[in-house]
Amino acid sequence: MSRVQGVRVLLGVSAVLAALALAGCGGDEAAVGGAAADVVPANVALYVSSNTDFEGEEWQQAEELVRKFPDGDRAIRELLATIEEEDVDFEEDVKPAFGPEVAVVVLDFAGDDPQFVGLTQPRDQQKFDELIAQGDEPAVSEEFEGWTVFSDEQASIDAFKQAAGGDTLADSDAYTEAVDGLDEGLVTVYVSGAGLQRAAEQNPTFDPASLETVLPNGEFPTMGITVGADDDGGRLDGQFVFGGDLEESGFVGEPFSAELPDELPGEVFAYVGFNNLEQQISRFRDVLADVDPNFESQLGQIEGALGVSLEEDIAPLFAGEGAFYVRRGSPLPELTLVTRVENDEQAVGTVDDLVEGLVGADVSLPPPEDTEIAGVQARQLVLEPPVTLFYAAFDGKLVLTTARDGIADLREEDDRLSDDESFTDALDQAGVPDETTGIVYVNLAEAVPLLLDYVDASGESVPPEVRANTEPLQNFVAFGTAEGDTVTFSAFLGVE
């Protein structure tokens, strides 16, 4: 222990506490962002608050969640052992040394060695003092407005106190806007857009003008993220507050209500729903053109070779609602892309042109053949037997898929994705609203074993404990919404 630095202990302990909280081992109810925000200066670059009340009601829930994984307990023990390797006992030394909340603050990202401080309200001040006193270079701490502030050097604490003379983080508009509306979490992370801006500006190669092409008003967003857990799984909610209206910027589409799941087949492993990517494709083209002066000419060469224009031909195919999904298939899973189009014939014509261009550019590709699938005239392009691409447009939908069933099953009316309980339950559990800017859904209960089977078949043996510890994973859902200058997103990992 003699060689152990006190700061290292504190950092390790803080990291473990954060990890425990992320894993669901959190404390009782607290305001979003924690109480430390009431004393932390408004202009900090990074603020992370972990709820560490181990005696709280949620602890039991969290333990239940962890125990759903066969090796969950062991993982926690191993995590704690990383502390105890430093001759620190978690139960005896660490738990009493910290209070129900531990916060870490980075005052500024600028500089090679950013200053940070930690804040807590120790249950047992003596234990805390003993903890930070360990090592050759003990940490320093100081009382400040009812909190114990600690750091690796006094200068950081002094800087913290000096900055704290003004507004607090909890009072700042940037912070409240970033965490406003987020679900309460066990860990809250706040990243200041202004802090990022200051750090970027310190880089001599930084060109502020380049930011204007990729970020509204050329400003870094301020970010608020919470991570939480309950009996059913883990959740991450976040908010990015930009410097200008996102819809006007063209980076984010208007929220939409997904209707394609009423027409897509059920039992998908993964589904990505999106809407009107045409505007975003155009916007990103502009961004790439600004970032790389050669981009336009290179793109022009590719467009000339393929005979289609990204902006005039391809992007309009994505003007409506779209979906990309993965279903069971043999020997490979079926991958299908569906987009709503106004003119079936025109849409297929565009893909025909694109395929013709690809075939012309690659002599190993055979020309596509006509084929009929479930009464639909489709095209079949053999990429590398048995990998084949089928495409067709019907009923206002353009479909590109790797299996005949990808088209045939779209012609069915029963067992749609919107009827699939795995899908609907997962979306309900994740709290997906009626309108989003996009949805990602993965049926992990089906997809992970399949993935492991592929790994096994490739000759790489999957350890039994990997299978066992992935069995509790049920689903993953992520979605986003946008309004004005704010993008909100959530991700939920279902565990059973």
Partner 1 sequence: MLRRIAALALGAVALAGCHDRPEKTPEGAALVPADTALFIAVDTRLRGPQWEELRDVLERFPSGGRAGELLLGALGAQGHDVEPALGPELDLAVLYPGPSGAVPVVLLTRPDEPDALRALLAELEEPVEAAELPDGWFALAPDRAALDGFLSAGGGESLADVGEFAEAMGDLPRSRLAAAYLDGGLLAQTFGGRPGFAEPFFAPRGGIPGWAAAALSADDGLRVDGQVSAGTAGLAFRPRLPELVPGDAVLYVGFRDLTTGARNLWRNLVEADPTLEEDLRGLEDDLGLRLAKLAPLFTGEGGVYVRPGAPLPEVTLVLSVRDAADARESLDELASGVEGALEGAVARDVEIAGVGAVELELDSAFSLFYAARDGIAAVSSARGGIAELLAPDDEPLARSEGFREAAASADAPDDVLGLLYADLEEGVPLALGYLEGSIPSELAENLLPLRSLFLYAAPESSRVRFGGFLRVE
Contact residues toward partner 1 (CB under 8 A) are 328-333, 369-374, 380, 382-388, 403-405, 408, 449-450, 453-454, 456-461, 464, 467
- Compute the radius of gyration of the chain from its Cα atoms: 27
- Whichever of 73 and 453 has its CB closer to partner 1, that residue is 453
Cβ at position 459, least distance to partner 1 in Å: 4
Q: Which of 213, 166, 223 is nearest to 45 (CA)?
A: 223
- Whichever of 414 and 434 has its CB closer to partner 1, that residue is 414
| Contact predicate 18/48, CB 8 Å | yes
Cβ at position 383, least distance to partner 1 in Å: 8
Cβ at position 397, least distance to partner 1 in Å: 19
- Whichever of 82 and 371 has its CB closer to partner 1, that residue is 371
Cβ at position 336, least distance to partner 1 in Å: 13
Cβ at position 74, least distance to partner 1 in Å: 17
- Whichever of 261 and 368 has its CB closer to partner 1, that residue is 368
Cβ at position 249, least distance to partner 1 in Å: 42
Cβ at position 22, least distance to partner 1 in Å: 29
Q: Which residues contact 385 (CB under 8 A, 6 or more apart)?
A: none
- Whichever of 198 and 411 has its CB closer to partner 1, that residue is 411
Q: Which residues contact 217 (CB under 8 A, 6 or more apart)?
A: 242, 243, 244
- Cβ neighbours around 130 below 10 Å, total: 15
| Contact predicate 118/103, CB 8 Å | yes
- Whichever of 324 and 454 has its CB closer to partner 1, that residue is 454
Can you tell me the distance from the alpha carbon of 46 to that of 60, in angstroms, rounded to the nearest whole number?
30
- Cβ neighbours around 286 below 10 Å, total: 16
- Whichever of 373 and 439 has its CB closer to partner 1, that residue is 373
Q: Determine the residue type at 137.
A: E
| Eight-state DSSP code of residue 97 | G
- Whichever of 141 and 402 has its CB closer to partner 1, that residue is 402
Cβ at position 414, least distance to partner 1 in Å: 11
Can you tell me the distance from the alpha carbon of 300 to that of 338, in angstroms, rounded to the nearest whole number?
27
- Whichever of 39 and 358 has its CB closer to partner 1, that residue is 358
Cβ at position 349, least distance to partner 1 in Å: 20
Rounded to 5°, the CA angle 317-320-325 comes to 80
Q: Which residue has the tokens 């990890």?
A: 19
Give the 3-state DSSP-derived string for 240-303, with helices as H, strands as E and coil as C. Answer: EECCCCHHHHCCCCCCECCCHHHCCECCEEEEEEEECCHHHHHHHHHHHHHHCCCHHHHHHHHH
Q: Which of 19, 487, 465, 492 is nearest to 238 (CA)?
A: 487
- Whichever of 16 and 447 has its CB closer to partner 1, that residue is 447
* Residue 149: both structure tokens together: 């502030």
Cβ at position 370, least distance to partner 1 in Å: 8
* Residue 372: both structure tokens together: 């009929």
Paired with 400 in beta bridges are 337, 391
Task: Using alpha carbons, list the distances in angstroms from residue 27 to 7, 90, 109, 185.
Answer: 24, 16, 29, 10
| Contact predicate 51/25, CB 8 Å | no
Can you tell me the distance from the alpha carbon of 451 to that of 242, in angstroms, rounded to the nearest whole number?
38
Can you tell me the distance from the alpha carbon of 395 to that of 270, in angstroms, rounded to the nearest whole number?
23
Cβ at position 390, least distance to partner 1 in Å: 9
Can you tell me the distance from the alpha carbon of 283 to that of 287, in angstroms, rounded to the nearest whole number?
6
- Whichever of 173 and 456 has its CB closer to partner 1, that residue is 456
- Whichever of 61 and 380 has its CB closer to partner 1, that residue is 380
Cβ at position 126, least distance to partner 1 in Å: 48
* Residue 416: both structure tokens together: 């749609």
